[in-house]
Structure 1
């Protein structure tokens, strides 16, 4: 459908199949991108807790169109296109029409990871930017404590919200990318973590 600027009417044009560079469907395992629309090219992906790799499934409207996914397949021995998510900010899918005359690029920006917390201790790998200050990581107010084991130092480092003025207690000051942390909250709560620094968007 195309709107004519001269008369304001909407006209329908039949696009030759060979010129069609649209995706018919797009899905990422363990990553929520919302409802897919072939006419929409930009998406935000929310990575589920514990997901470190996703299988990208992208099918073009036309069988003869080509589909290229970036980054490259991380595990060619496994069915589907595997993408490692650690430190990744976006995934792109480029569709080229059968006759090569048109391309369309779909982008999924990976901005958030959702971590489910509760009264029981839970462990997770930090998916956000390296060096993120703990007191600026938008910890839910229900969080009671966060700990990590430093192998090099041979000791635990901890952060207790509300006790930032006690340096001997709050020895954990920043999150490290890929490091494992143990966290506990007073009650069930969802923590949404930005997976890359704001100035890198």
Structure 2
């Protein structure tokens, strides 16, 4: 466990340093103060150089991400989308899957089962939701629908719309990672395909 904590802190520190670029640690510290939560220069330096002990407070991650103008998941899981990362002790996944689990877009790994294959779980989840959506209702035989109570049909339609919304959000969120184009700069044809 201690190794995972220190590895996570080192990973986050390296990403903060990379994102900071040529700007000084003092600049970043001043920027966090402007945002209302001061992170001392020494704390930033110790984090960036792997000398910081213990866990990182979530407040620091959020304010540092704001100061660097990136989403917190970019600091937590650098190398999006495909870099390997240890999401939790013993759970190694791609950075994008870690970000999806962190945001709730993907199920959390089950605890207490040392043999769990998180990569297989993420593939199964993607396969299970791939063909589900409002279009699924079109595949159901009209006679089958007519046999169902109205409440069940309404719930099916609502669920299908919810899945469509989640899938649309995921496509919009992941498009820039896969193609390197910010969502607001996609052309209209691509935008229709991904959102």
Q: TM-score, normalised by structure 1?
A: 0.26
Greater fraction of residues in strand: 1
Q: Which structure has the larger Rg over C-alpha atoms?
A: 1
What is the TM-score with the length of structure 2 in the denominator? 0.27
